[in-house]
Amino acid sequence: MLFSQYASLFEMNTLDAWTSAVFGLAKGYGFDKCLYSVLNNKHEAMENAFIKSNYSPAWHKTYDEKHLALVDPTVHHCLNSNLPLLWEDKSFSGAAQKELYETAKQYGLCSGLIFPIHGARGEFGMMSFVAPKAKLAKSNKEFQHVVQTLSILKDHVFESSLKFIPKKTGTRPVCLTPRETEVLKWSTAGKSSWEISKILNCSESTVNFHLLNVRHKFDVSTTQLAVIKAIQQGIIHA
């Protein structure tokens, strides 16, 4: 284990140098593609994430425009677990997830390991390493070693990245965008995501994306709980 290489991440004074070093370390372990994403806390909207990746820019564009985080099982896993996940074709079930996977395959994203990040100061994120399925087979005697190595690397990447991420000072009240407030008000009125999409003349996935951001900002697991907190804070009225 080359801890001196990991420690060098803390010595990087520019974001470009740090990013290049991270990708270089990943490639040294046989992972040509990797993604690192982190939020200061779960109250932040997902579009505010600090992201460094050498995935195809076209894939990122597709992922963002179609709000695929809403159906991505790896994101759901990272939100609810501290354990790494081996993701492959079997990890994606249902029509929406399978469509996501088929699209990802077109960009060389067929299988990999993803590690959740839950920082001591409330940060949330993930780091994913892409590699051929054969390399990640659990029957491979090197698999456990790879998991342990990447887990340690992920910790060093996370801690060394913090100086590049703008810090939040103090605890600020939850602030919803006008669109998020509008979507939440209709949800409070008992409208479904499909009904709200028709009212606001947008896609159902867009409505769900706004509701997901609202839940993140209030740090709750359901829209109903978000509604309660929004009413308590005077953001909306019952």
Residues 66 and 159 in one domain: yes
SS3 call for 236: coil
Which among 168, 189, 42, 53 is positioned nearest to 108, based on CA atoms? 53
Report the C-alpha gap between 33 and 193 in whole angstroms. Answer: 35
* Full residue range of the structural domain in which residue 187 is found: 178-232
- Whether 170 has a pLDDT exceeding 60, the answer reads no
Residues 123 and 79 in one domain: yes
Residues 182 and 160 in one domain: no
Residues 143 and 184 in one domain: no
Residues 92 and 190 in one domain: no
226 backbone dihedrals φ, ψ, rounded to 5°: -65, -40
Which among 50, 21, 16, 54 is positioned nearest to 35, based on CA atoms? 54
User: How does pLDDT run across 39-66, given as a tens digit for each residue?
Assistant: 887 667 677 789 999 999 999 999 988 8
Neighbours of 163 (CB within 10 A): 12
Q: Is residue 169 a part of any domain in this protein?
A: no
* CATH code (residue 195): 1.10.10.10
For the entire predicted model, the pTM comes to 0.73
Q: Is residue 173 a part of any domain in this protein?
A: no
Residues 145 and 27 in one domain: yes
Residues 8 and 108 in one domain: yes
Q: Is residue 85 a part of any domain in this protein?
A: yes
Running DSSP on this structure, what letter comes out for residue 172? P
Is residue 110 a contact partner of residue 104, using CB atoms and an 8 Å limit?
yes
Q: Is residue 171 a part of any domain in this protein?
A: no
Residues 103 and 47 in one domain: yes
* CATH code (residue 111): 3.30.450.80
Supply the pLDDT for residue 165.
87
Residues 128 and 190 in one domain: no
Neighbours of 223 (CB within 10 A): 20
- Whether 234 has a pLDDT exceeding 90, the answer reads no
Quickly state the pLDDT bin for 93 (edges 50, 70, 90): very high
Report the C-alpha gap between 100 and 115 in whole angstroms. Answer: 20
Q: What is the average pLDDT value for the chain, to the nearest integer?
A: 88
Residues 86 and 131 in one domain: yes
Burial degree of 231 (CB within 10 A; 0-12, 13-18, 19+): middle
Residues 95 and 187 in one domain: no
Q: Is residue 104 a part of any domain in this protein?
A: yes
Q: Is residue 237 a part of any domain in this protein?
A: no
Residues 57 and 142 in one domain: yes
Q: Is residue 216 a part of any domain in this protein?
A: yes
Query: Structural domain tally of the chain?
Result: 2
108 backbone dihedrals φ, ψ, rounded to 5°: 80, 15
- Whether 235 has a pLDDT exceeding 90, the answer reads no
User: How does pLDDT run across 122-158, given as a tens digit for each residue?
Assistant: 899 999 999 887 677 666 677 788 888 999 999 999 9
Is residue 10 a contact partner of residue 152, using CB atoms and an 8 Å limit?
no
